[in-house]
Amino acid sequence: MQTPSSAGQSQYTEGEGKQPEHAHVARTHTHDHFHISHHHTSNPLSQWEHRAYWHTHAHNHNVLTHSHDYSQEQEEAEHDKESHVHDHAAPTQSPA
């Protein structure tokens, strides 16, 4: 299955997880969501640490074709626990 992204590029998976390849339609919605930053440390054995932060606002998700090893029900139920990428100047029109 190949689906065009908002940039006109085709999306598909190479290989398949436990769930078959499937597509999500573009949507805009609101929920508390997380962002992750990488913080450089002085520790030569562990130079980077993840820092999480979260907030709530309307944001979009473009068309997405993918596969994964967890159920589609779990994917939907746990969506707001995922880190999100979007343009905060225009979060409902972000290309990510």
Query: Is 0.75 topped by the overall pTM?
Result: no
Which of 48, 66, 65, 57 lies closest to 84 in space, CA to CA? 57
Q: 55 in helix, strand or coil?
A: strand
Domain chopping of the chain, boundaries: 3-81
The pLDDT > 70 percentage for the chain reads: 90
pLDDT in tens, 8-23: 678 888 888 898 999 9
pLDDT in tens, 50-76: 999 999 999 888 888 999 999 989 988
CA atoms of 76 and 48, how far apart (whole Å): 30
